[in-house]
Amino acid sequence: GESVGLHLPTLSVQEGDNSIINCAYSNSASDYFIWYKQESGKGPQFIIDIRSNMDKRQGQRVTVLLNKTVKHLSLQIAATQPGDSAVYFCAEKAAGNKLTFGGGTRVLVKP
Protein backbone atom coordinates (compact mmCIF):
# COMPACT_ATOMS: atom_id res chain seq x y z
CA GLY A 1 0.00 0.00 0.00
CA GLU A 2 0.85 3.65 -0.09
CA SER A 3 3.49 4.67 2.41
CA VAL A 4 3.08 8.42 2.22
CA GLY A 5 2.74 9.76 5.72
CA LEU A 6 3.79 6.53 7.38
CA HIS A 7 6.51 8.17 9.48
CA LEU A 8 5.11 11.67 9.68
CA PRO A 9 3.59 13.33 12.76
CA THR A 10 -0.12 12.70 12.95
CA LEU A 11 -2.90 15.07 13.90
CA SER A 12 -6.07 13.25 14.94
CA VAL A 13 -9.18 15.40 14.80
CA GLN A 14 -12.84 14.73 15.36
CA GLU A 15 -15.09 15.23 12.36
CA GLY A 16 -16.59 18.69 12.53
CA ASP A 17 -13.81 20.16 14.64
CA ASN A 18 -11.27 22.66 13.35
CA SER A 19 -7.75 21.53 12.45
CA ILE A 20 -4.56 23.52 12.74
CA ILE A 21 -1.43 22.32 11.00
CA ASN A 22 1.82 24.08 11.70
CA CYS A 23 4.98 24.50 9.69
CA ALA A 24 8.30 26.15 10.43
CA TYR A 25 10.15 27.35 7.35
CA SER A 26 13.84 27.91 7.07
CA ASN A 27 14.64 30.64 4.57
CA SER A 28 13.98 34.22 5.60
CA ALA A 29 14.30 35.19 1.91
CA SER A 30 11.30 33.05 0.91
CA ASP A 31 8.55 35.25 -0.45
CA TYR A 32 5.86 32.77 -1.41
CA PHE A 33 4.34 29.88 0.49
CA ILE A 34 2.03 27.07 -0.47
CA TRP A 35 0.06 24.39 1.32
CA TYR A 36 -0.44 21.08 -0.43
CA LYS A 37 -2.66 18.12 0.36
CA GLN A 38 -1.53 14.65 -0.65
CA GLU A 39 -3.98 11.79 -0.55
CA SER A 40 -2.89 8.20 -0.72
CA GLY A 41 -1.82 7.22 -4.21
CA LYS A 42 -1.92 10.78 -5.57
CA GLY A 43 0.39 13.68 -6.17
CA PRO A 44 0.31 16.82 -4.01
CA GLN A 45 -2.73 18.99 -4.64
CA PHE A 46 -2.62 22.77 -4.26
CA ILE A 47 -4.78 24.06 -1.40
CA ILE A 48 -3.88 27.69 -0.78
CA ASP A 49 -0.96 30.06 -1.10
CA ILE A 50 0.22 33.28 0.49
CA ARG A 51 2.79 35.91 -0.37
CA SER A 52 5.21 37.27 2.17
CA ASN A 53 3.56 40.71 2.11
CA MET A 54 0.45 39.19 3.67
CA ASP A 55 -0.12 37.58 7.06
CA LYS A 56 -3.46 35.92 6.42
CA ARG A 57 -5.37 34.53 3.49
CA GLN A 58 -8.66 32.70 3.45
CA GLY A 59 -10.07 30.16 1.06
CA GLN A 60 -12.99 27.83 1.19
CA ARG A 61 -12.88 26.30 4.69
CA VAL A 62 -9.13 26.96 4.86
CA THR A 63 -7.07 29.81 6.23
CA VAL A 64 -3.33 30.25 6.01
CA LEU A 65 -1.48 32.39 8.53
CA LEU A 66 2.07 33.61 8.04
CA ASN A 67 4.30 34.90 10.81
CA LYS A 68 7.52 36.08 9.22
CA THR A 69 9.04 37.15 12.53
CA VAL A 70 9.30 33.56 13.71
CA LYS A 71 9.19 31.96 10.23
CA HIS A 72 6.02 30.09 10.95
CA LEU A 73 3.16 29.09 8.70
CA SER A 74 -0.11 27.48 9.69
CA LEU A 75 -3.09 26.00 7.89
CA GLN A 76 -6.46 26.05 9.54
CA ILE A 77 -9.21 23.78 8.26
CA ALA A 78 -12.71 24.60 9.46
CA ALA A 79 -15.28 21.88 10.18
CA THR A 80 -12.92 19.06 9.25
CA GLN A 81 -14.47 16.35 7.11
CA PRO A 82 -13.45 12.74 6.42
CA GLY A 83 -12.29 13.83 2.98
CA ASP A 84 -9.70 16.04 4.65
CA SER A 85 -7.78 12.99 5.81
CA ALA A 86 -4.44 13.23 4.02
CA VAL A 87 -0.86 14.35 4.42
CA TYR A 88 -0.36 18.10 4.35
CA PHE A 89 2.86 19.77 3.27
CA CYS A 90 3.95 23.36 3.41
CA ALA A 91 6.37 24.61 0.80
CA GLU A 92 8.38 27.81 0.48
CA LYS A 93 9.72 29.49 -2.61
CA ALA A 94 12.67 31.84 -2.75
CA ALA A 95 14.57 32.96 -5.83
CA GLY A 96 14.85 30.59 -8.78
CA ASN A 97 11.33 29.14 -8.67
CA LYS A 98 12.47 26.23 -6.54
CA LEU A 99 10.14 24.90 -3.90
CA THR A 100 11.43 23.60 -0.60
CA PHE A 101 9.02 21.32 1.20
CA GLY A 102 8.45 20.95 4.90
CA GLY A 103 8.31 17.57 6.57
CA GLY A 104 4.56 17.09 6.36
CA THR A 105 1.75 16.29 8.78
CA ARG A 106 -0.71 13.44 8.49
CA VAL A 107 -4.28 14.44 9.37
CA LEU A 108 -6.60 11.67 10.46
CA VAL A 109 -10.27 12.56 10.79
CA LYS A 110 -12.22 10.46 13.24
CA PRO A 111 -15.95 9.98 12.60
Partner 1 sequence: SAVISQKPSRDICQRGTSLTIQCQVDSQVTMMFWYRQQPGQSLTLIATANQGSEATYESGFVIDKFPISRPNLTFSTLTVSNLSPEDSSIYLCSVDGTVQETQYFGPGTRLLVL
**Residues of this chain that bind partner 1 (CB under 8 A):** 2-8, 32, 34, 36, 41-46, 49, 89, 91, 93, 97-104
Q: Which CB, 43 or 111, lies closer to partner 1?
A: 43
Question: Which residues, including other chains, have CB under 8 Å from residue 7's CB and lie 6 or more apart?
Answer: none
Helix (H) / strand (E) element for 13: namely: strand 10-14
Distance CA 26, CA 59 (A): 25
Distance CA 23, CA 63 (A): 14
Q: Give least dist CB 96 to partner 1, A.
A: 8
Q: Give least dist CB 43 to partner 1, A.
A: 4
Q: Which CB, 32 or 68, lies closer to partner 1?
A: 32
Q: Which CB, 48 or 65, lies closer to partner 1?
A: 48
Q: Which CB, 21 or 36, lies closer to partner 1?
A: 36
Distance CA 103, CA 90 (A): 8
Distance CA 68, CA 55 (A): 8
Single-letter amino acid, residue 104? G
Q: Give least dist CB 61 to partner 1, A.
A: 18
Q: Give least dist CB 17 to partner 1, A.
A: 26
